[in-house]
Each structure stands twice: as C-alpha cells, then as structure tokens.
C-alpha cells in the first residue's frame, strides 16, 4: 500500500478521502532529519512545513510533494525537480480567509482595538474610551495592494464593494485592471496609499521590496499589512519607522524568522498587531486545502499528473521513473 506522509494532521474530510488509497502517516516531528528519514519510503508527501533539500535525495519512491496551500517557498523546487518529483499546490482556496483577515487587521488598527481593550481591562471604562478620539474609519481611504493574484483580488473586492475604499494595486503583469481598481507602480502605490497590503509571493524580486526608501515614501498615518512572507519587508527599516512614529502602524502575520522570538521589537509597539502566520487559517480553509491536497494525491496515485503541477519541466524525468502505462 502506498505511504502518504503528511507534515500535519489533515482535516477529517481529507483524511476520509485518502482512506483505502494508502497508509496515511503524520510526521512525528518537523525537523529536517526526521522529515528526511520518514520520507524515505513515502510515495507522497503533503507539505505544510519547510522540507529540506536532502529529503529528495533519499526518498527514492517519492512521486510528489503536494503543498497543503498555495505558497511554494516550503518546497525546494530545484531539489524536487532534480529528483524527478512532481510538485503541486492548492491555489486560491484560502483567498477569502486571508482577505477577511486583512480587513479585520485594518479595522483593528484604525479603531485602536489593542489599546482600547488593554486599557479598558486594566484601567476601566473611561481609559478605554480615551482612545476613541483618534479612531478612524475605513471608508474613503485608499488601499494599495502589492500582488494582485487570487488573494489580492479578494482583498480588492471586499475593500471596494464592502467598505467603500479606493483600490489601487501593483502586479508584475499590469494587465487591464478590473472594475474599481487602478494599477500603479510600486513607488506610486506606496506614496498614495493609506493602507498597504503585501500579497505578493516571495521571489528574488520581492525580497526586501518594502525597504527603507519605500517605507520613507509612505504617508505618516499609513498602515502596512503583511500577509505575504516576512522577507518582503526590511525589518530593521520598519522597526526604525515605528520607533520614530513615521507611519501609523502595522499588522504582521509573517516574519523572516518563525516562530517570532518573544523578545522581538515588534511586540513592544502598541500600534503593531502580531499574529502567528494564521491569516489563511480557518476551519473552512483548512477543509478546502485538505480536500484539494487529497484530490491531487489521488490523481498522482492513479498515475495521472496533478491539476496544479508547478514544475512541468519534471514530467519527462518523472515518466522515466513512473511510466504512464505502468
């Protein structure tokens, strides 16, 4: 029976789909050595934690690494492709979840929720209400979206149609903009936006995209929301801007180092919301990601190619390992 190794427990619906298709095994730990060891006799690995490149050298039976989600930075693509292993993902299924998080974060920052809640609990009713004089509304502000894929589009739709925001975006393709969205260069977007949302993938081009110069172009009251990947932001530059009150605040769900150390400077700011990489995680999105990864697993075990194959150049090598007519 094929072995299906998963880095994390799957949603019950996804587990049920795989019953009978193979032996479903949850990794006993997520360190590189354990994953490499436990993948040696696996046919499929479902990925929700970073994989070491060495895993692909020893996993001689491995057919596919299937990402439980959209981002591919957890999978060493070159190593997988060199080993003749298919890489697939489950795109777009958590776009609504992430978009809702973005609006929640923007509202919480504008309404000073952290400070209101803290002072109401510690100092009483009037202390909590003292913050309301500085609260602000979303409607009429400009939200700038960096990266206009499925998540960026979901953010834009909710922002424009649900909250009356002006929506601008920047994207590599600069294709014709949808209704109620204007496309700008990254520098123009940073200068004009009241709320900047990072939705882009982590690539060599986006690493350090929000650097000291671009943070310096932001409006004094601007908010920065990152649901992309931590290294898209220059942390030192953002911390300096927060310390000097050069921007209005930030909501950060992803970080260059995860877990974020408990003594990290981000925890010291009242106008910074820190969350543990959870923007895309809800009961509903976990079900969709689990079902999507199970669907792709079943296709590969049936000797078919996954729908969302992300390294198509591997197919010739893969078919030498697992012929289509086998």
pLDDT value of residue 195: 99
- 284 pLDDT exceeds 80? yes
pLDDT value of residue 174: 65
Read off the pLDDT of residues 6-65 as tens digits, 9 standing for 90 and up: 999 999 999 999 999 999 999 999 999 999 999 999 999 999 999 999 999 999 999 999
Q: Rounded to the nearest 5°, which phi and psi values hold at 164?
A: 70, 30
pLDDT (mean) for 243-248: 98
pLDDT value of residue 180: 84
Give the percent of the chain with pLDDT over 70: 99
| Residue 90 near residue 46 (C-beta atoms within 8 A) | no
Write down the number of H helices and E strands in the chain: 13, 12
pLDDT value of residue 260: 96
pLDDT value of residue 321: 98
- 325 pLDDT exceeds 90? no
DSSP E strands, the chain: 3-6, 23-26, 44-47, 64-67, 86-88, 142-146, 166-170, 181-183, 195-198, 223-226, 249-252, 272-274
Q: Note the CATH number of domain 3-93+283-321.
A: 3.40.50.720
- In the chain, where does the domain assigned CATH 3.40.50.720 lie? 3-93+283-321, 95-274
pLDDT value of residue 205: 94
**Architecture in CATH of 95-274:** 3-Layer(aba) Sandwich (3.40)
- 182 pLDDT exceeds 80? yes
Average pLDDT, the chain: 96
Question: For the whole prediction, is pTM greater than 0.75?
Answer: yes
In Å, what is the CA distance from 196 to each residue of 47, 121, 142, 240, 307?
30, 31, 9, 18, 33
Read off the pLDDT of residues 299-320 as tens digits, 9 standing for 90 and up: 999 999 999 999 999 999 999 9
Q: CA dihedral defined by 308, 314, 319, 322, rounded to 10 degrees? A: -70
**pLDDT band (50, 70, 90) for residue 178:** confident
Residue 220 and residue 194: Cα distance in Å, rounded?
9
């Amino acid at each position: 029976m094929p072995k299906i190794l998963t880095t994390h427990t799957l949603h019950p619906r996804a587990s049920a789909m795989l019953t009978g298709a193979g032996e479903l095994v949850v990794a006993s730990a997520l360190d590189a050595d354990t994953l490499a060891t436990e993948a040696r006799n696996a046919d499929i690995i479902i990925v929700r934690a970073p994989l070491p490149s060495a895993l692909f050298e020893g996993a001689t039976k491995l057919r596919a690494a299937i990402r439980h989600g959209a981002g591919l930075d957890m999978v060493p693509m070159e190593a997988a492709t060199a080993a003749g292993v298919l890489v697939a993902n489950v795109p777009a299924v958590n776009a609504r979840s992430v978009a809702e998080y973005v609006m929640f974060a923007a509202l919480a920052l504008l309404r000073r929720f952290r400070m209101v809640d803290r002072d109401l609990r510690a100092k009483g009713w009037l202390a909590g209400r003292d913050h309301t004089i500085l609260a602000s509304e979303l409607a009429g502000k400009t939200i700038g979206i960096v990266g206009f894929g499925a998540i960026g589009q979901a953010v834009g739709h909710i922002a424009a149609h649900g909250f009356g925001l002006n929506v601008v975006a920047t994207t590599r393709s600069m294709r014709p903009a949808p209704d109620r969205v204007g496309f700008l260069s990254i520098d123009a977007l940073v200068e004009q936006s009241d709320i900047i949302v990072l939705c882009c993938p982590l690539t060599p081009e986006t690493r350090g995209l929000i650097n000291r110069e671009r943070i310096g172009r932001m409006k004094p009251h601007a908010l920065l929301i990152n649901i992309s990947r931590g290294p898209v932001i220059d942390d030192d530059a953002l911390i300096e801007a927060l310390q000097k009150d050069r921007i209005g605040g930030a909501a950060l769900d992803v970080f260059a180092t995860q877990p974020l150390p408990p003594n990290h400077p981000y925890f010291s700011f009242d106008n910074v919301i820190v969350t543990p990489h959870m923007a895309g995680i809800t009961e509903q999105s976990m079900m969709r990601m689990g079902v999507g990864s199970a669907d792709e697993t079943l296709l590969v075990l049936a000797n078919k190619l996954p729908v969302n194959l992300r390294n198509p150049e591997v197919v010739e090598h893969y078919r030498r390992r697992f012929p289509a007519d086998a």
